[in-house]
């Protein structure tokens, strides 16, 4: 990486994009706190400054880097984006994801070369509900930010969801069983450039148990591609304690 993206840089980007939202999107309610003001108020933008950490999920062998904990302002913004279709916050959320991807690369020992980010596939049901593939959009936007900062990276949707099972109310073991076999390699994807990448990073939104990312990694390996790490916008409370050696019984992910 010729110019390593740093947390202060992402913090500055948040402030700059926040200023643009103030100019373009008055009047609105803040997606973080709900106050009648703009898309994201000044205090919430401050609370959203990335605090990357890497955790070891319950399921899967790959470490997962998140931009912050799935709580408080970050949780409110993600819920607003996904459940209330607050796509006006996408530029800010993409900055957070870019910080998580940069951290995942740093943790993997990346020193240069092409990077491929692979978004976890969205189910047909989620596409119908939201009208868009949020993870793929965020991954593409985040990679664009990192590319503008000097990193050779691209977001490539290499996987597809071949079936969907409802995860609502499921425990960790049920989530693992439910997600197994739900992802597959895209038949028409351009695989050769990906196999030549220096690093391959899986991307999702929220880490809880790691089941979805583990399934995505399995599908990539089915196509002969070995992922090097994972990035997510946020990690749940169970992931806050850090790496596996610090918290062997922790429960994370997607």
CA separation (Å) from 114 to 1, 70, 151, 189, 252?
A: 9, 30, 8, 17, 29
Spatial separation of the C-alpha atoms in residues 207 and 192, rounded to whole Å: 29
Spatial separation of the C-alpha atoms in residues 254 and 252, rounded to whole Å: 7
Q: What is the mean pLDDT of residues 6-17?
A: 71
pLDDT at position 173: 57
**Domains of the chain and CATH, by start:** 50-253 (3.40.50)
Q: What's the whole-model pTM score?
A: 0.82
Q: Are strands 153-155 and 115-119 parallel, antiparallel or unpaired?
A: parallel
Give 14-37 as a DSSP string. Answer: HHHHHHHHHHHS-SEE-TTT--EE
CA angle 237-246-116, nearest 5°?
A: 70
pLDDT tens digits, one per residue of 163-194: 755 544 444 555 566 677 889 999 888 898 89
Spatial separation of the C-alpha atoms in residues 107 and 100, rounded to whole Å: 10
Number of residues written out for the chain: 254
CA nearest 74: which of 99, 44, 103?
44
pLDDT at position 180: 79
Q: Does an H or E element contain 179, and which?
A: helix 172-179
The mean of the pLDDT values for the chain is 83
pLDDT at position 248: 29
């Amino acid at each position: 990486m010729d110019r390593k993206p740093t947390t202060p840089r992402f913090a500055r980007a948040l402030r700059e994009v926040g200023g643009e939202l103030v100019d373009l999107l008055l009047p609105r309610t803040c997606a973080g706190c709900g106050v009648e003001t703009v898309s994201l108020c000044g205090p919430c933008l401050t609370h959203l400054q990335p605090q990357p950490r890497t955790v070891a999920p319950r399921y899967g062998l790959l470490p997962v880097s998140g931009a912050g904990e799935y709580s408080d302002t970050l949780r409110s913004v993600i819920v607003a984006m996904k459940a209330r279709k607050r796509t006006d916050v996408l530029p800010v959320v993409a900055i957070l994801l870019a910080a998580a991807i940069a951290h995942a690369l740093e943790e993997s020992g990346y020193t240069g070369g092409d990077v491929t980010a692979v978004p976890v596939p969205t189910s047909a049901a989620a596409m119908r509900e939201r009208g868009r593939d949020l993870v793929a959009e965020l991954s593409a936007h985040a990679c664009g930010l990192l590319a503008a900062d000097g990193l050779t990276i691209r977001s490539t949707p290499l996987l597809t969801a071949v079936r969907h099972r409802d995860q609502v109310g499921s425990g960790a073991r049920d989530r693992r069983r439910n997600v197994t076999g739900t992802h597959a390699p895209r038949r028409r994807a351009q695989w050769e450039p990906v196999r030549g990448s220096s690093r391959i990073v899986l991307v999702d939104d929220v880490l809880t148990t790691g089941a979805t990312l583990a399934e995505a990694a399995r599908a990539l390996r089915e196509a002969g591609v070995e992922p090097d790490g994972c990035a997510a916008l946020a990690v749940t409370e169970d992931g806050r304690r850090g790496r596996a050696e610090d918290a062997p019984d922790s429960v994370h992910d997607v």
